[in-house]
Structure 1
């Protein structure tokens, strides 16, 4: 292990869901489930890799944004549908009246996304001296 590289693995105490495995099979190897309450917000942000949101319950409106305002092509995403977002695009979202549960999937795991996934206990850090089997690094944006 490199001194400054942090390595992760999926939490062995928390099995991946069928929906998370489905998103992985679509080519997004880094996944975690997010739950938003009714009207819950995804504040304006962007990712440094292509990402997807696969809705499994409720609904969410996702759209490209500027200056914390949804301005371009907002799209309502219903259960069993997904929206793919290219890297570097600012976007935001708002959950529907019943809230929303979705699987977030990424092509590349950034340190910021790794922190979020670790807070959800989807992934855990690999401790020094542990086996590297199944481990993956968070990659800084270039």
Structure 2
């Protein structure tokens, strides 16, 4: 059985809640990522994604240099622990119609898991399974 700790990304990009949305957008562009974990001190308090920019910043014609991340972020985020099974994480994502989960251990941010991470894991599993099947039939 595989666990989130086996495939999670431990290099989480964060931004303080009082940073400007312009700062956040520059980080997203520079790192070529689609979201940031928003923090207050060391604690995660939300997520800011490209979709948040469109829904809360662009459509309201707000200036990214003036708006704070805390005004645009999604404060409700879903999380799992490193010991959560991959199947349970997938189910949580499907049930909540979300693309990413924050990974917390003892209430500390230790990683993130995305649909892309899950797809890569499942692809690897399928390739391994097919290879084993092929070897057995030869």
TM-score range, shorter chain: under 0.3
Larger strand share, 1 or 2: 1
Under a length normalisation based on structure 2, what TM-score does the superposition of the two structures give?
A: 0.28
Larger radius of gyration between Structure 1 and Structure 2 = 2
Structure number with the bigger relative contact order (C-alpha 8 A, sep ≥ 6) is 1
Larger helix share, 1 or 2: 2
